[in-house]
Amino acid sequence: MQAADSPATTADKPSFFQAAAADETQPRERVDPDKPYFYLTPLEDKNENTNEDEREKSRSSGSDQLDSDKSESLDSYSSPETLSVADDRAQDAKVNNSSSDASLADRTDDDQLKVPSTNSVISPMAAHKQEDSVQQSSRENKFDEAERSRNDNSDEPIPSGYDSSEQNSFPADSQDTKKLSIPSRKELNGDKKNFDDSRKMNDSRKPKNTKEMLKVKKKIMIMMPVALFALILGITTGILWPTFFNDILQKELTLTNTSTSYDIWKETPVPMYLKMYMFNWTNFEETLKNASVKPHFDEVGPYVFREVDIKMNKTWNKNGTVTFRVKRVWHFIPEESKGNLTDEITNLNPIVSTAAYLFRYYQPFIKFVFNQLFEKMENIVVTKTVQQLLFDGFDDKLLKIANALKRHNVNVEVPFDKFAWFYQRNNSETYDGIYNMNTGSFDFYDMGMLREWKYKNTSDSYPNCGHIKGSIGDLWPPLKNNKTLSVFSPDICTSLNLKAKGTSTWLDVTGSKYVSDEDTFDNGSKVDSMKCYCQGRDCQPSGTLNISSCKFGAPAFVSLPHFYLADKSYAEKISGMNPDEDKHEFQLVIHPDTGIPLQVRGTLQINFYLYSDDKIKIFDRFAGTFIPMIWFTQEVKITPEFAKKVKLLDLLPPVVSGVLWSIAGIGVLLILISISIFIRQKKKDDEVRLLNNDSDKDPEVPVTDEA
């Protein structure tokens, strides 16, 4: 009906499908979808590759695929296997289309009637739309199948580009005509290994940053508080540790009945020894016969005693002092001694020499009587055992006379009925007198310093210069770079000044060393403070100290053993003296931080001065001579066990300080590690983020210029 009504002018025009069956040698025109329908583009003749219908279908399919790819993300690409299946189906479609084209020529006239006749009026635009609808339907069917296949194989990678010899042209997006190259099945299968390697490489760089970052944050959340705590703890305690240690040390060293120092002070904690050396006058008879012969003395000993000092009658006072007495106990140790207490010693009779010295200020008649009593020279010397000379004592006619005079109200001071150097002193609580000492509770650096002796702050023996000072030797405060130390000795009723002389080490513990020097027994010629000890005709050359007032008027002078550091005149009048610094130096080694005595060697020698008078002539032969009587040394050395404790006190401050600052260093290190981990993970996150951004973009599809 439509064909009959059509104008006659349209019968001569071939239809769209008749044009498709026309001679293929004639050039055809293709409708460009980007141009108006009336703008026709000539097609190339490619009879050698495929027929026109196959090329047309491939072109249409490629055009639709390109349009679909523009709207899909990277995840919407199909896998190589899916593309292979689509390619097979496309080949089948080509075969079917070829069969349809071949059968088109054999159609009957009735079949031709189903196609619009040449007489039908069909505009070029209508024919173009009809062709596009058929091609669009075919493309939709094919890509539906490809979409289903892609969904089933969504894990397969998408190739980044294709390069195939069989190039199917696709419409380009831009004005420049471009072609997409779809790979063949052989190329896809051959490049599968490369795609898999690329996929593995990409998968290794997949964004695992979320879980890793959470782990890193957890680590940092744990490390940072620990680091800050260690840093603050280390710095705070490192700064406060010295003060804290000193506070603890002061608390333990301050003398109280509950402190650590009390256990050390109340009784000697380490072995202490008293070594006695006696002088034996060997040529007494020769000196009586020949005035040119010097008295010769041999040193005998040592006689070693173990000494234990016990503090008795302790009273804790409110003014920060303690009042106490000292009981000294000596036990003879024969295995460490050179000699026995039964050894006999010949030396000056101390009782006769004391009497002569006391009568020097008496009236001439009394001096004459005294001289008649001792007109025989042999009475000025005595031979006694070591036991008698040291502890037991011995009788003498002069002592009996003095005691008889005392009973008749004659002012004669006779303290004992016998004489011995330590008579009635062993195991006595009262002999040394009573002490009053600072405990350090008011001033820590005054701990152990005496304030009074026998209830006085000065010595009766030296009223002008006998100020009570120093320590009795068993308790000292920490030293503050002291240049001198004073040691009080009840044996001489005053203090001795010792000067600093470097350091000394004992059992790997180092202490400050203080020793005697030439100023210790100066007569005032060098040290002004010593002038008060040397007055009138009793003032002697430097090297001795007059202690007669401390020894009941006896002509006793104290010096260092063998007149060490004394004026040469003392040794020139006698023989047998061999001063030796290593043996005769008075030295004291104290741990500077705790005041604990590490080594003590207190050496003193007692000498008797022979006084001559025009009425008392028994000593004219030896007038002005100092006779050495006895010298002793009190030695104390800490034990290895005690040295370990002191050494621990030495190591504790630097070790603890080092540990505390190391803790602070660990805190700093943990902070740096945390920062390093964070920065490193941040870099990884940045890299992963860049990879994610790249993967979200469309893959770069290689294009080739249309031939």
Of 411-425, 455-469, 472-486, the poorest mean pLDDT is in 411-425
| Rounded distance between C-alpha atoms, residue 376 and residue 263, angstroms | 56
Higher pLDDT, 465 or 475: 475
| Rounded distance between C-alpha atoms, residue 554 and residue 629, angstroms | 13
Q: What's the pLDDT tens digit per position in 588-637? A: 999 998 899 999 999 999 999 987 777 777 777 888 899 999 999 999 98
- Please determine, for residue 119, whether its predicted confidence score (pLDDT) is greater than 70: no
According to DSSP, the residues that pair with 558 across neighbouring strands are 545, 606
Indicate the angle between helix axes 124-152 and 52-71, nearest 10 degrees.
60
Q: How many residues does the chain have?
A: 707
Burial class (CB in 10 A: 0-12, 13-18, 19+), 328: buried
| Rounded distance between C-alpha atoms, residue 604 and residue 491, angstroms | 10
Question: Looking only at Cα atoms, what is the longest distance across the chain?
Answer: 196
Pairing between β-strand 450-453 and β-strand 484-489 as defined by DSSP bridges? unpaired
Question: How much is the pLDDT for 238?
Answer: 83
Sequence-separated (6 or more) residues with CB below 8 Å from residue 468: 450, 451, 452, 453, 456, 457, 458, 459, 488, 495
**What element of type H or E holds 327?**
strand 321-332
The DSSP code for 471 is B
The DSSP code for 456 is B
Question: How much is the pLDDT for 434?
Answer: 95
Q: What's the pLDDT tens digit per position in 141-183? A: 655 665 565 555 444 444 444 444 444 444 444 444 444 455 5
Q: Cβ distance 259 to 252 under 8 Å?
A: yes
333 closest CA partner among 273, 412, 416, 399: 273
- Please determine, for residue 114, whether its predicted confidence score (pLDDT) is greater than 50: no
Q: What's the pLDDT tens digit per position in 17-31? A: 444 444 444 544 444
Q: What's the pLDDT tens digit per position in 433-447? A: 999 999 999 999 999
| Rounded distance between C-alpha atoms, residue 83 and residue 65, angstroms | 12
| Rounded distance between C-alpha atoms, residue 200 and residue 214, angstroms | 24
Reduce the DSSP state of residue 560 to 3 states and report it: coil
What mean pLDDT comes out for the span 282-289? 87
- Please determine, for residue 199, whether its predicted confidence score (pLDDT) is greater than 70: no
Question: How much is the pLDDT for 142?
Answer: 58
Question: How much is the pLDDT for 550?
Answer: 87
436 closest CA partner among 485, 472, 476, 477: 472
The DSSP code for 302 is E
- Please determine, for residue 36, whether its predicted confidence score (pLDDT) is greater than 90: no
With cut-offs at 50, 70 and 90, classify the pLDDT of residue 185. Answer: low
With cut-offs at 50, 70 and 90, classify the pLDDT of residue 498. Answer: very high
Question: How much is the pLDDT for 586?
Answer: 95
Provide the phi-psi class of 167: left if phi over 0, else alpha when psi is between -120 and 50, else beta.
Answer: beta
Question: How much is the pLDDT for 612?
Answer: 72
Structure tokens at 340: 């026995």
Sequence-separated (6 or more) residues with CB below 8 Å from residue 304: 273, 274, 275, 276, 332, 333, 336, 337
Q: Cβ distance 178 to 706 under 8 Å?
A: yes
Cα→Cα distances 376→285, 288, 296, 373, 692, Å: 13, 11, 21, 8, 127
Range with the largest mean pLDDT of 225-239, 349-363, 483-497: 483-497
Question: How much is the pLDDT for 60?
Answer: 53
| Rounded distance between C-alpha atoms, residue 557 and residue 546, angstroms | 5
Q: Cβ distance 391 to 276 under 8 Å?
A: no
| Rounded distance between C-alpha atoms, residue 673 and residue 346, angstroms | 84
Question: How much is the pLDDT for 283?
Answer: 92
Q: Cβ distance 241 to 657 under 8 Å?
A: yes
What mean pLDDT comes out for the span 297-309? 95
Question: How much is the pLDDT for 326?
Answer: 95
Structure tokens at 517: 């020097």
| Rounded distance between C-alpha atoms, residue 363 and residue 352, angstroms | 18
Reduce the DSSP state of residue 385 to 3 states and report it: strand
| Rounded distance between C-alpha atoms, residue 339 and residue 592, angstroms | 38
Question: How much is the pLDDT for 460?
Answer: 85
How many CB atoms lie under 10 A from the CB of residue 496?
A: 20
Q: What's the pLDDT tens digit per position in 92-104? A: 545 444 444 444 4
Q: What's the pLDDT tens digit per position in 640-676? A: 998 998 888 888 888 888 888 888 888 888 888 888 8
Q: Is the peptide bond before 302 cis (omega within 30 degrees of 0)?
A: yes
Question: How much is the pLDDT for 126?
Answer: 55
Range with the largest mean pLDDT of 83-87, 295-299, 507-511: 295-299
- Provide the Cα torsion 507, 511, 515, 519; round to 10°: 170
| Rounded distance between C-alpha atoms, residue 547 and residue 543, angstroms | 13
What mean pLDDT comes out for the span 462-489? 88
